[in-house]
């Protein structure tokens, strides 16, 4: 079977995908900007000089959506004989203003570059990563309430294992390639509800405090760039009190229902304990 290149090798999704490919005996190569385990090759998606070596002998690629050098990556992939690219994109590209949104623009640019190329392209568009909740761990460990500008804002948290399994399916079943897939978790949940579920998993209530958008933005200054923070606030405001669309795409691709946020919380409870 042709070799698969899995980029973003230090991320949970790439590592989960690599484990699935290994278990199935599918030849593959894990790549990272900063290789940290034996056998991982150097591939910095912002540095075209690293592309040729990583792509040698590769026929399929699992690609993270880094737009900085995507045209060079596409050119090198075509030269190397790559036939299929599975892109980890984002459902944010489905918004009418995606091209102008810091949340979506880079994903959209990579999608467009791939779709304009001769490469067969499969788009995985997850909604909210359940792992975004890890951003609350510091507050919990420090004993402070989580600050939420929109506690009633809804999202569709999807487990990283489900994204990895979806990627495995489209990489190994040719009949599934060449399409776009909107991946979500099984429930539309508010931030407040997610914190309650996390509290059950760690065995204690997790307090939160409503703060103004301005206060939240000032608190994350230095961690989240201003335009990105503004875009997040706009998105949360738009989904405040409004459940988001849920799909059954994970089940279609993997054969099982998407994992719940309860499952994710149990899997990651130790990250929230002191």
Which of the four pLDDT bands, split at 50, 70 and 90, describes residue 6?
very high
Question: Which among 124, 90, 63, 154 has a CA at the least distance from the CA of 249?
Answer: 124
Residues 6+ apart with CB under 8 A from 180: 122, 123, 125
Question: Which among 43, 23, 20 has a CA at the least distance from the CA of 33?
Answer: 43
Strand ranges inside 108-247, DSSP E: 120-126, 146-148, 154-155, 180-183, 189-190, 208-210
* 21-49 average pLDDT score: 94
Query: Tell me, what's the pLDDT at 273?
Result: 85
* 67-96 average pLDDT score: 97
Query: Tell me, what's the pLDDT at 1?
Result: 40
Other Cβ atoms less than 10 A from the Cβ of 77: the count is 25
- Per-residue pLDDT of 131-145, as tens digits, reads 999 999 988 888 899
- Domains belonging to the chain, first-starting first, are 1-125 (3.40.50.720), 127-159+184-274 (3.40.50.720)
Other Cβ atoms less than 10 A from the Cβ of 66: the count is 18
CA–CA distance, 112 with 95 (Å, rounded to integer) = 15
pTM: 0.96
DSSP state of 129: B
Query: Tell me, what's the pLDDT at 48?
Result: 98
- Per-residue pLDDT of 214-273, as tens digits, reads 999 999 999 899 999 999 999 999 999 999 999 999 999 999 999 999 999 999 999 998
CA–CA distance, 190 with 208 (Å, rounded to integer) = 13
Helices (H), 122-225: 137-142, 160-172, 191-202, 213-220
23 neighbors 61 (Cβ within 8 angstroms): no
First to last CA, the chain: 46
């Amino acid at each position: 079977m042709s070799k698969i290149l899995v980029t973003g090798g230090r991320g949970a999704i790439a590592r989960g995908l690599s484990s699935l490919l290994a278990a199935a005996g599918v030849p593959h190569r894990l790549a990272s900007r900063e290789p940290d385990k034996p056998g991982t090759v150097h591939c910095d998606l912002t540095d075209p000089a690293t592309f040729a070596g990583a792509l040698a002998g590769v026929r399929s690629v699992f690609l993270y959506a880094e737009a900085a050098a995507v045209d060079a990556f596409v050119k090198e992939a075509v030269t190397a004989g790559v036939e299929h690219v599975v892109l980890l994109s984002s459902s944010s590209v489905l918004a009418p203003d995606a091209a102008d949104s810091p949340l979506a623009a880079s994903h959209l640019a990579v999608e467009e570059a791939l779709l304009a190329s001769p490469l067969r392209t499969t788009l995985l568009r997850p909604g909210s990563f359940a792992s975004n909740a890890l951003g609350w761990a510091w507050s919990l460990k420090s004993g402070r309430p989580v600050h939420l500008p929109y506690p009633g804002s809804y999202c569709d948290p999807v487990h990283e294992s489900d994204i990895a399994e979806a990627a495995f399916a489209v990489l190994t079943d040719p009949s599934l390639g060449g399409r776009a897939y909107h991946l979500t978790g099984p429930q539309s949940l508010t931030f407040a509800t997610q914190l309650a579920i996390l509290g059950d998993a760690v065995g204690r209530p997790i307090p939160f405090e409503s703060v103004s958008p301005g206060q939240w933005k000032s608190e994350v200054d230095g961690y989240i760039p201003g335009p990105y923070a503004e875009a997040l606030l706009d998105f949360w405001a738009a989904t405040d009190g409004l459940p988001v669309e849920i799909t059954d795409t994970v089940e279609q691709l993997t054969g099982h229902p998407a994992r719940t946020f309860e499952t994710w919380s149990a899997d990651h409870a130790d990250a929230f304990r002191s």
